[in-house]
């Protein structure tokens, strides 16, 4: 049992009141004096050479203050890695997808901006386009980027052990192929940017998951010194991976502000948000598995083709993560992975919290098939092959806490697995999905976080950290850590975060690092401040430092409760001594910084790993193909739940976002046209679709995590679609091959089943 007063307790989030009352400020709410309205001219072609862009007529419209195109930029191309820098943000050579940003205007009002937009002249020479990876890789296909042969943007190849020999020694070998359509992030907040260039400095507000990463990208693109680019704190109406990297909208708005000399705001429409910001990858996964007679996996071979859209974006990472979250969960002595990210003439693709559903659900479904052929319970085959503390992944990352087995066992018990597996009525099924999640992967020197905490003369604390909150509750997490260590109520703590001008480097909220890395830095800074307070109190109270504690704004003796002193007295004394209480803390995870996504995919990938298992029950209507999910159980190893209520919320949200979405969500295309760019035709789960969800928090107490904590829920998001897909296959007694499991696909499964029964 711990003796924490705040940590481990379910407490309301610090941001709840502002958000539920509508007081929280988002980018679209910002109003600055003299602010202009931006509008973007978008490509009508999937692939075309740009012959001319002329904005002279647009500039003559009353109220128009600036018109920009790629020719106003500096020719710098962006990519997460040097070897993937292919995106100019505003193209000058050719457009590569319908909806791509081509030019933009800034005007005093929306009417003038729209009028000017129609007057920008762009001459195109249409080119052949490719819309699927197979046509893009076909011999003779037109190249979307000349430097990438066969339109293969990234090829991740990993080979461990002797795969061919292991297949030869296997008792059973299966090979299956699975497909999944791409998905939209579907944030409730359409993308918006405010840029204000003044005095040689560029200030920007936008929803983002990594301010320091965003500032560095814009510094390079705009050739502005990094210290002159300030990404400001703002609330975010959703991220899910889609706010991770710099956006064309950031570049466009900044360029317009620099050219006009006035602040500029760009707000995308819902349709623009769908066609011109990042979306999740379509993919085709071929999975081959060899096992012993007892179900022990001997060999795995994967070939996964990702539809990467028009630009590299997060290319090497996106082509690797589905494999890694699976490799981190199971023991694979021999494996071969080939991940191909292929250019197509579709919009930009990026990372996603549910990334990899064809690959992950396919692997889990195939494991069910193998278990069935061997007459082994699907739960047991997973536990048998699951990694444990102290073991290494195939690519040489050590597991320092937790195991796959415990979440599986607890989820199975809660779900009544043994009583239901193979015993449910017709058209009802149950399925399980499992993954592990890396916490803080290599980002060079940006892998670490730093924090400072100062005590004011009233005893209140001001904490400065780069930690970002995209809705996960990260800001509340920081305040909770400060409150615990310094003995202050949350109302006495002021948080300054996610502002690049005043905070030090932080990896951001998209490498599962906020708690493990950022939280550790906050904890160390507070411990430093605590030490300074107690040292002064030790003199004043004539008590040894080890006998003092901080509670309820007070330094108190553990031996004699009568001996105590307000923290505010101590902080004022520190000012008199010209040694104000300022705590500093930094943390960088123990990872292999020589590890690289493509050239060297071996070594310690993350500071730690979390594990999760989800079990879904489904009902299938054979007349309509409609699926309902009445019950869902999920178990997640978060190391230590700093705030159980928040962790449970993340788990519940993840179960809906990925689990229920496995039967509804997909981008629909006609060539390069996105057919469902709104929330009417793009079917996100609604309240009426949400199952009864039971959550189980597993606490393994990570030795490095702050108070033992690690990431708090992403394993659920990455395994929920597997649980639902496996449950549907179990209900229909026939294997799925394509996601999402929409009624038309379910009816095809039913028809295949009937055809098999008739033979």
Question: DSSP 3-state assignment of 341?
Answer: strand
Question: Is the model's pLDDT at 613 over the cut of 70?
Answer: yes
Q: Report pLDDT digits (tens) over 513-559.
A: 899 999 999 999 999 999 999 999 999 999 999 999 999 999 999 99
Question: Is the model's pLDDT at 21 over the cut of 80?
Answer: yes
Mean pLDDT of 159-183: 97
Q: Locate tokens 């490509």: which residue?
A: 43
Question: DSSP 3-state assignment of 368?
Answer: helix
* Whole-number pLDDT of residue 509: 85
Question: Is the model's pLDDT at 757 over the cut of 90?
Answer: no
Question: Is the model's pLDDT at 612 over the cut of 80?
Answer: yes
Q: Report pLDDT digits (tens) over 499-512.
A: 999 999 998 887 78
- Which residues does 174 contact at the CB level (< 8 Å), separation at least 6? 288, 289, 366, 369, 370, 373
Closest residue by Cα to residue 707 from 562, 463, 551, 523: 523
H/E stretch holding 652 reads: helix 644-654
Mean pLDDT of 11-15: 92
Q: Report the DSSP beta bridge partners of residue 450.
A: 586
CA 25 to centroid of chain Cα atoms: 22
Question: Is the model's pLDDT at 20 over the cut of 50?
Answer: yes
Please tell me the distance from the alpha carbon of residue 237 to that of residue 235, in angstroms, as a whole number: 7
Question: Is the model's pLDDT at 470 over the cut of 60?
Answer: yes
Handedness of CA 111, 112, 114, 118 (dihedral sign): positive
Kindly state the percentage of the chain with pLDDT values over 70: 100
The arrangement of strands across the sheet holding 335-342 comes to 152-160, 335-342, 297-307, 282-291, 172-180, 738-739
Please tell me the distance from the alpha carbon of residue 604 to that of residue 552, in angstroms, as a whole number: 41
Mean pLDDT of 565-577: 97
Q: Which domains does the chain have, with CATH numbers?
A: 16-23+448-587 (3.30.365.10), 31-127+192-238+243-274 (3.90.1170.50), 282-442+594-758 (3.30.365.10)
End-to-end CA distance of the chain: give it in Å, rounded. 62
Tell me the pTM: 0.96
* Whole-number pLDDT of residue 444: 77
Please tell me the distance from the alpha carbon of residue 714 to that of residue 653, in angstroms, as a whole number: 10
Q: Locate tokens 């500096």: which residue?
A: 74
Dig out the tokens for 214 from the structure.
């965003």
Report yes or no: 111 and 126 within 8 Å, Cβ to Cβ.
no
Position 753 confidence tier, pLDDT thresholds 50, 70, 90:
confident
Alpha-carbon Rg for the chain, nearest whole angstrom, is 27
Please tell me the distance from the alpha carbon of residue 305 to that of residue 319, in angstroms, as a whole number: 8
* Whole-number pLDDT of residue 1: 45
Question: DSSP 3-state assignment of 670?
Answer: strand
Range with lowest mean pLDDT among 235-249, 265-279, 592-606 = 235-249
* Whole-number pLDDT of residue 759: 58
Question: Is the model's pLDDT at 57 over the cut of 80?
Answer: yes
Please tell me the distance from the alpha carbon of residue 294 to that of residue 278, in angstroms, as a whole number: 44
Q: Report pLDDT digits (tens) over 340-378.
A: 999 999 999 998 888 899 999 999 999 999 999 999 999
Closest residue by Cα to residue 328 from 380, 378, 397, 390: 397
Please tell me the distance from the alpha carbon of residue 741 to that of residue 181, in angstroms, as a whole number: 10
For the chain, give the number of residues. 759
* CA angle, 449 then 696 then 6, to 5°: 50
Report yes or no: 588 and 517 within 8 Å, Cβ to Cβ.
yes
Work out the mean pLDDT of the chain and round it to a whole number. 95
Please tell me the distance from the alpha carbon of residue 537 to that of residue 716, in angstroms, as a whole number: 46
Position 445 confidence tier, pLDDT thresholds 50, 70, 90:
confident
Q: Per residue in 396-416, is it b (16+ CB within 10 Å) or e — as a string? A: ebebbbbbbbbbbbbbbeebe
Dig out the tokens for 635 from the structure.
């178990």
H helices present in 236-335, as ranges: 248-260, 270-276, 315-318, 321-327
Closest residue by Cα to residue 318 from 273, 272, 353: 353
Task: Residue 134: count other Cβ atoms within 10 Å of its Cβ.
Answer: 13
Please tell me the distance from the alpha carbon of residue 661 to that of residue 589, in angstroms, as a whole number: 33
Question: Is the model's pLDDT at 758 over the cut of 80?
Answer: no
């Amino acid at each position: 049992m711990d003796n924490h007063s705040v940590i481990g307790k379910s407490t309301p989030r610090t941001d709840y009141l502002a958000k539920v009352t509508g007081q929280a400020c988002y980018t679209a709410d910002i109003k600055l004096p003299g602010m202009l309205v931006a509008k973007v001219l978008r490509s009508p072609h999937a692939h075309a050479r740009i012959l001319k862009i002329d904005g002279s007529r647009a500039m003559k419209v009353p109220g128009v203050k600036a018109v920009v195109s790629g020719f106003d930029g500096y020719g710098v191309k962006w990519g997460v890695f040097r070897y993937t820098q292919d995106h100019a943000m505003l193209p000058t050579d050719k457009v590569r997808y319908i909806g791509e940003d081509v030019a933009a205007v800034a005007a005093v009002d929306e009417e003038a901006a729209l009028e000017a937009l129609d007057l920008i002249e762009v001459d195109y020479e249409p080119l052949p386009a490719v819309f699927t990876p197979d046509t893009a890789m076909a011999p003779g296909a037109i190249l979307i980027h000349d430097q990438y042969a066969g339109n293969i943007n990234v090829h991740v190849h990993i080979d461990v052990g002797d795969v061919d020999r292991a297949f030869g020694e296997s008792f059973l070998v299966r090979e299956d192929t699975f497909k999944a359509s791409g998905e939209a992030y579907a944030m409730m907040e359409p993308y918006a940017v405010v840029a204000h260039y003044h005095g040689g400095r560029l200030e920007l507000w936008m929803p983002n998951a990594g301010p320091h990463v965003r500032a560095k990208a814009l510094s390079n693109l705009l050739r502005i010194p990094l210290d002159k680019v300030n990404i400001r704190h703002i609330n975010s109406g959703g991220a899910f991976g889609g706010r991770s990297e710099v956006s064309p909208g950031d570049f466009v708005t900044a360029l317009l502000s620099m050219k006009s000399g006035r602040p500029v705001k760009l707000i995308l429409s819902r349709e623009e948000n769908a066609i011109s910001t990042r979306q999740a990858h379509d993919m085709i996964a071929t999975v081959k598995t060899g096992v012993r007679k007892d179900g022990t996996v001997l060999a795995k071979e994967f070939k996964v083709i990702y539809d990467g859209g028009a630009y590299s974006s997060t290319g090497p990472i996106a082509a690797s993560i589905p494999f890694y979250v699976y490799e981190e969960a199971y023991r694979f002595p021999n494996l071969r992975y080939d991940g191909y990210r292929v250019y197509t003439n579709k919009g930009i693709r990026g990372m996603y919290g549910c990334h990899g559903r064809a690959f992950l659900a396919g692997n889990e479904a195939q494991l069910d098939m193998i278990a069935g052929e061997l007459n082994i319970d699907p739960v047991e085959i997973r536990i048998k092959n699951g990694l444990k503390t102290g073991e290494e992944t195939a690519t040489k990352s050590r597991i320092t806490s937790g195991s796959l087995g415990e979440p599986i066992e607890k989820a199975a018990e809660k779900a009544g697995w043994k009583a239901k597996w193979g015993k449910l009525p017709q058209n009802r099924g149950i399925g399980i999905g499992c993954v592990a999640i890396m916490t803080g992967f290599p980002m060079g020197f940006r892998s670490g976080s730093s924090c400072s905490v100062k005590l004011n003369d009233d005893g209140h604390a001001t904490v400065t950290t780069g930690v970002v909150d995209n809705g996960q509750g990260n800001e509340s997490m920081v305040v909770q850590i400060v409150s615990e260590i310094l003995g202050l109520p949350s109302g006495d703590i002021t948080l300054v975060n996610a502002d690049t001008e005043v905070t030090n480097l932080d990896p951001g909220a998209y490498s599962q690092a906020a708690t493990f890395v950022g939280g550790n830095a906050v904890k160390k800074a507070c411990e430093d401040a605590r030490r300074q307070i107690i040292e002064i109190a030790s003199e004043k109270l004539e008590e040894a430092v080890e006998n003092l504690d901080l509670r309820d704004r007070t330094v108190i003796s553990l031996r004699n409760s009568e001996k105590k002193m307000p923290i505010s007295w101590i902080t004022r004394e520190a000012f008199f001594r010209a040694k104000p209480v300022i705590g500093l803390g930094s943390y960088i995870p123990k990872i292999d910084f020589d590890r690289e996504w493509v050239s060297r995919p071996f070594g310690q990938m993350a500071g730690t790993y979390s594990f999760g298992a989800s079990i879904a029950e489904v009902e299938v209507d054979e007349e309509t193909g409609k699926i309902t999910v009445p019950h869902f159980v999920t178990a997640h190893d978060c190391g230590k739940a700093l705030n159980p209520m928040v962790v449970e919320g993340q788990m519940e949200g993840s179960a809906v976002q990925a689990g229920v979405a496995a039967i509804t969500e997909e981008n629909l295309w006609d060539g390069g046209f996105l057919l469902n760019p709104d929330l009417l035709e793009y079917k996100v789960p609604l309240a009426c679709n949400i199952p009864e969800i039971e959550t189980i928090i597993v606490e393994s107490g990570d030795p490095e995590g702050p108070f033992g904590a690690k990431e708090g829920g992403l394993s659920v998001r990455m395994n929920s679609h597997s649980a639902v897909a496996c449950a549907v296959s179990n209900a229909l007694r026939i294997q799925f091959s394509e996601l999402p499991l929409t009624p038309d696909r379910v009816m095809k499964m039913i028809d295949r089943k009937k055809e098999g029964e008739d033979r």
